[in-house]
A and B are shown apart, each in its own frame.
Chain A
Amino acid sequence: MRLQPRPASLYAPSVPTLDLPAASEKSVTDRDFLRSAFQSMLLARILENKLSSLYKAGKIVGGVYLGRGQESVSAALGTALIRGTDVFSPLIRDQAGRTAFGESLLDCTRTYLGSVLGPMRGRDGNVHRGRPLEGVPAMISHLGAQIALVAGMLFAKRLKGQLQGVVGATCVGDGATSTGAFHEALNLIGVEKLPLVIVVANNQFAYSTPNNRQFACGDLIERARGYGLGGWSVDGTDLFACASVMREAVRRAREGGGPQMVVAHLLRLVGHGEHDDAFYVPDACRNDHYGRDCIDVAIPQLVANGHVTTDEIHAWQHQFAADVQRAVAQAQQEATPDPYREDWTAISTRFPISQ
């Protein structure tokens, strides 16, 4: 199971690129980007710790699925995207990316707690939330299915003449790379040459199934070459590496370089959901390079480079904890759905239609 550290980029993207600075990002310094991404990581971690406590206290109906250990990858992607311009379809372990892309804490707590004021109104829960008309599709559980959907949003923007400078992004895990939907969609985005960034967080376990029962190629990044995508491999426990690779992949997609695939190597530091103690993850995995906690890795890097101070981090922790507490308290006092008032219709058309 032991993975060897990999170079930041296994091979250069196979598509031509323009050597222009990204208009949207030229004003974002490394320092600003890293501070912003780290804040999203920290907020996501504090929020998810709270969700875990609520689940264990029996306050959340249904599952709770956390992204612990994947915050660097997810936040780096979300920070590289532009809300209001780009499309981002997060998956199960993308709280940090959602936060970085501008999702409010209330959207999360309301969905987990079933408030009718949340975007899903109690009709769907936990990670199955989104605001499709604001560029954030709501995931379905069937893995790989969101890739083609994001492709369709970009395809439509192209037909409308609105694709210039737009990027779409979505995330999957190692398990999703085995689905037909994943392969169909990767081929399609290659054929249609869409500005889509697909991020594969290889966290070594799909629920309980290890990599050696999931795929037989040496490295999932080989999939990129097979479908004509630019390919990037990155240490997912290293925020600085994730930021650098994700910004470059997004920049290339944005500037006409075609679809990009980023494979991040890391370890899921929680169970599949909070019901799962992940007993099947061997100690060797937990103790190796990719078993590192990306937040523990990021803090000394950020401090040593002068991007943040420990005092700032402490202040953020206090502020975020208070923000999370408020968002939970707010959602908890809101109404939950009423089956007697529910509009039990699955279509928007009202029949009969008169001539």
Chain B
Amino acid sequence: MSVTYIDAILAAQEKLLREDDRVFLYGQDIGVFGGAFKATKGLAAAFPNRVFDSPISEDAMIGLAVGAAIEGLRPIVEMQFADFSSIAFNQIVNQAATHYYRTGVPIPITVRMPSGGTPGSGPFHSQNMEGIYAQYPGLIVLTPATVADAFHMLIDGVALDDPVIYCEHKFLYRWLKAKSINNDHLPIGQARIARPGKHATVVAYSAMVHEAVRAADRLQPDGWEIEVVDLRSVKPLDLDTILASVARTGRLLAVGESFPWGGVTAEVISLVSEHGFHLLDAPPQRLNSRDTPIPYHPKLWASHRPTPESICDALRHLLRF
């Protein structure tokens, strides 16, 4: 018996609905149908009048959630794909994110964003929006990479009083399995050492953690011990854990699946350069997707995002210094 990443997301929502009367779910096709990815399968029947199909109106969906949060509820909104949250951008960054600073009233909404690429999904069903949302003050941005984190971080995220952008990676939904939802439970805001090492640090998050671990495994026979840091949340960003790792290794590669201009990896490089320049034995490197829209064909897609091969190449380059 194993638990997948999406099982964990479903189980977390089931637990939240069962234990917290303030929680309700709002999203497209999440009722009887159970969601485009079945992350809400069976919940509408188990929790009558708590799980609602919404019209295809991302802006109004988030607007409704913000209003419900003012009234003391804890809505979880499912974006069918993170890509479509562009329609809700205004309500997220201008309504939800500014509300606490402006009025003193926090907005405890959680927006589930099925993120990242899968083969054949193309430019509009593959995007990673974490860097865009993290750029705005007032939002918490979570990027779970493990089954346990998918479960615990959703529950912990809903418990926060602030708006949470929960980026769940579609590639991990059914591919990533664990024996159980274990008690590996770190607080939000703390990064994890996913793989210990001493020659270089790879900072990654979401699906890229697994690609980075694969790359590290491939370099092991050559005698390289690569440390992989899983950020878990990109905002807040656990700079202490990153700096401690770089202090051990002296080398840094930041890997993200999002587009290369700016974003999480650029922020990591910038912060380490500012606060840990003296720790670096080599210029910090970063690896992102290519600077094009995300291609449809699996052959193009596989070369668009960072892969174990391209991460290995970047690490070999880094280790030459």
- Cα(A140)–Cα(B87), bound, Å: 17
> Digit string of B37-59 for contact with A (CB within 8 Å is 1, else 0)?
00000000000011000110111
| Contacting pair B63 A151 (CB below 8 A) | yes
Q: Contacts A346-B138, A347-B138 known; A355 to B185 CB distance under 8 Å?
A: yes
- A277 CA / B151 CA spacing, docked (Å): 58
Q: Is residue B200 contacting chain A, with contact meaning CB distance below 8 A?
A: no
Cβ proximity bits A122-138 to B, threshold 8 Å, 1 near / 0 not: 01100010111100011
0/1 per residue, A324-355, Cβ < 8 Å to B? 00000000000000000000011111011111
**Inter-chain contacts of A181 with B (CB < 8 A):** 59-60, 63, 90-91
Verify if B206 is at the interface (C-beta below 8 Å from A).
Answer: no
Contact A348 B106 (CB under 8 A): yes
Residues of chain A within 8 A (CB-CB) of B50 are 159
Q: Are B102 and A120 in contact (CB under 8 A)?
A: yes
B190 within 8 A of A: yes
**Contact present for B140 and A349 (CB under 8 Å):** yes
Q: Which residues of A contact B55 (CB under 8 A)?
A: 184, 187-188, 191
> What residue in chain A is nearest B185 (Cβ atoms)?
A355
Q: Do B72 and A156 touch (CB < 8 A)?
A: yes
Q: Which of A142, A147, A160, A188 contacts B90 (CB 8 A)?
A: A142
Q: Chain B residues near A154 (CB, 8 Å)?
A: 67
List CB contacts (< 8 Å) of A122-181 with chain B: 123-124, 128, 130-133, 137-138, 140-142, 145-157, 159-160, 180-181
Evaluate contact between B64 and A140: CB separation under 8 angstroms: no
Which B residues touch A354, using CB under 8 A? 187
Chain A proximity mask over B65-95: 1 for CB below 8 Å, otherwise 0: 1111111110100000000000100110011
User: Nearest Cβ in chain A — how far from B273, in angstroms?
Assistant: 22
Q: What is the CA–CA distance of A352 and B156 in the complex, to the nearest angstrom?
A: 13
**A197 close to B (CB within 8 Å):** no
Interface residues on B, range: 35 or more
Contact call B101/A346, Cβ cutoff below 8 A: yes
A185 beta carbon closer than 8 Å to chain B? yes
A138 and B95 alpha carbons, distance in the complex (Å): 10
Counting chain A residues whose Cβ lies within 8 A of the other chain, the interface size class is 35 or more
Distance of A145 Cα from B89 Cα, bound (Å): 11
**Which residues of chain A are near B71, meaning CB under 8 Å?**
152-153, 156-157, 160
Are the CB atoms of B187 and A353 closer together than 8 Å? Answer: yes
Does residue B188 face the partner (Cβ distance < 8 Å to A)?
yes
Which of A119, A153, A347 counts the most chain B CB atoms within 10 A? A347
* B70/A140 in contact, CB under 8 A: no
Contact A349 to B187, CB < 8 A, known contacts A155-B64, A156-B72: no
CA–CA, A290 to B271, complex, Å? 59
Q: B67 touching A151 by the CB < 8 A rule?
A: yes
- Assess the B67–A348 pair: CB atoms within 8 A: no
Check if A149 sits within 8 Å of B95, measured CB to CB. yes
CB-nearest residue of chain A to B72: A156
Residues of A within 8 A of B228 (CB): none
For B94, list chain A residues within 8 Å (CB).
140-142, 145
Inside 8 A of A185's CB, which chain B residues have their CB?
A: 57, 59-60, 63
Which of the listed residues B24, B50, B63, B69 has the most CB atoms from chain A within 10 Å of its own CB? B63
- Tell me whether B98 and A140 are in contact (CB under 8 A): yes
Q: Is B3 part of the contact surface with A, judged by Cβ < 8 Å?
A: no
Residue A132 contacts which of B60, B70, B137, B189 (CB distance < 8 angstroms)?
Answer: B70
Question: Which residue in B67, B91, B160 is a CB contact (below 8 Å) of A155?
Answer: B67
- How far is it, in angstroms, between the C-alpha of A160 and the C-alpha of B91 when the chains are bound? 24
Interface presence of B100 (CB below 8 A): yes
Contacts of A155 in B (CB 8 A): 64, 67-68
Show the binding face of A for B, using Cβ within 8 Å.
119-121, 123-124, 128, 130-133, 137-138, 140-142, 145-157, 159-160, 180-181, 184-185, 187-188, 191, 345-349, 351-355
12 pairs from A and B in contact (CB 8 Å cutoff): A145-B59, A148-B67, A153-B71, A159-B49, A159-B73, A184-B60, A188-B60, A346-B97, A347-B100, A348-B100, A351-B236, A355-B185
For the complex with contacts A149-B64, A181-B90, A184-B59, 15 further pairs of A-B residues with Cβ separation under 8 Å are: A138-B103, A147-B63, A148-B57, A148-B64, A148-B67, A160-B71, A185-B59, A185-B63, A188-B60, A346-B137, A347-B137, A347-B162, A352-B187, A353-B187, A355-B187
